[in-house]
Amino acid sequence: MELSTRLKSLMVATATKQEDIAKALNISQPAVSALITKGEKLRILELIRIIETMGATMEFSILLPDGRRL
């Protein structure tokens, strides 16, 4: 599932509007729309702030060639 689809699903699940995210990131609602729906490249810190705005957290892991996760 691509990132924009996951973010949209998270927004629905948490009843978060683009305006809420815009306020948290101090950007315009059209800028949020571009980030989320139009596939604009997100910086990792923007992604974390968007997810935190919805009351969620994000975990990172690294998948090694042998299948182990770090």
**Pick from 58, 56, 5, 54: nearest CA to 25:** 54
From first to last of its 70 residues, the chain has per-residue pLDDT tens of 588 888 899 999 999 999 999 999 999 999 999 888 776 678 888 889 999 999 999 888 888 999 999 8
In the chain, the domains with their CATH numbers are: 3-53 (1.10.260)
pLDDT at 66: 94
- Tokens standing for 57? 């957290």
* Amino acid at residue number 15: A
Contact 18, 29 (CB under 8 A): yes
| Per-residue pLDDT, 40 | 64
Residue keyed to tokens 């090694």:
64
